Chain A
Amino acid sequence: MTALEKDVSIRVDEVSLAYERRAGLFRREPFWALRDVSFELHSGETLGVIGRNGSGKSTLLRLLAGISKPTRGEILAASSFVSLLSLDLGFVPNLSGRQNIFLSAMLYGMSRQRVSELLDAIVDYSELGDAIEHPVNTYSAGMKARLGFSIATTVDPDVLLIDEILGVGDLSFRHKSSATMRNRLKSGKTALFVSHSMHEVSALCDRVVWLDNGELRMIGEPDDVIPQYEDCLQQPTS
Chain B
Amino acid sequence: MALSPFKPSQHPRLDLIRYVAVSSLLSETLRSRLGFLWWFLDPVLYMAVFYFVFAVIFERGGPDFVVKLLIALVLWRWFDNTVKACAGSLVNGKGLMRQVYVSKFLFPLAALLSQGIKSAVVLLVLILFLLVYGIDVNLAWFGLVPVLLVEFLFISGVGLLLASIIPFFPDLKTLIDYGIQLMFFLSGVFFEISQLPPDVQDYFLLNPMAMLIDQGRQVLLYQATPDWILLAGIAIFSFLLAAIGSWLLARYDRDYPALLLV
Contacts and interface: CB of A to CB of B under 8 A. Distances in A.
Nearest to B1: A78
A135 B26 CA distance: 12
A94 B262 contact: no
B99 A86 contact: yes
Interface stretch (A98-106, A191-199, A202-210, A229-237): A98-106
Interface in A46-100: 62, 65-69, 74-80, 82-84, 86, 89-90, 92, 94-95, 99
Contacts, number: 96
A121 interface: no
B113 to A, nearest CB: 15
Interface string B220-262: 0000000000000000000000000000000000110111011
B3 A66 contact: no
B5 to A, nearest CB: 6
B4 A77 contact: yes
Contact of A90 (B30, B100, B255, B258): B100
A8 B4 CA distance: 11
A234 B102 CA distance: 41
B64 interface: no
A107 B259 CA distance: 21
Nearest to A5: B3
Given A19-B258, A19-B262, A22-B262, A8 B99 contact: no
B262 A8 contact: no
Given A77-B4, A77-B6, A80-B8, A102 B19 contact: yes
A77 B26 contact: no
A90 B100 CA distance: 9
A192 B13 CA distance: 27
A150 B131 CA distance: 52
B7 interface: yes
Nearest to A43: B1
A20 interface: yes
B100 A107 contact: yes
A11 interface: yes
Interface string A6-30: 1010110000010111100000100
A176 interface: no
Given A21-B262, A28-B262, A67 B100 contact: yes
B26 A84 contact: no
Interface string B141-154: 00000000000000
Interface string A99-118: 10011001110011000000
A77 B3 contact: yes
Given A94-B30, A95-B30, A68 B258 contact: yes
A76 B27 contact: no
B3 A8 contact: yes
A28 B15 CA distance: 40
Most buried by A among B100, B102, B262: B100
B27 A66 contact: no
B31 interface: yes
B79 to A, nearest CB: 26
Given A67-B97, A90-B96, 17 more contacts: A8-B3, A20-B262, A65-B100, A66-B8, A66-B254, A67-B98, A67-B101, A69-B255, A78-B1, A79-B1, A80-B8, A89-B100, A94-B30, A95-B23, A103-B23, A106-B16, A107-B100
29 contacts: A19-B262, A20-B258, A20-B259, A21-B262, A66-B254, A67-B97, A67-B257, A68-B255, A68-B257, A68-B258, A74-B5, A75-B6, A76-B5, A78-B1, A78-B2, A78-B3, A80-B7, A84-B100, A86-B99, A89-B100, A90-B96, A90-B99, A90-B100, A92-B24, A92-B27, A102-B19, A103-B20, A103-B23, A108-B100
Interface of A: 1, 5-6, 8, 10-11, 17, 19-22, 28, 62, 65-69, 74-80, 82-84, 86, 89-90, 92, 94-95, 99, 102-103, 106-108, 111-112, 135
Interface of B: 1-8, 13, 15-16, 19-20, 23-24, 26-27, 30-31, 96-102, 254-255, 257-259, 261-262
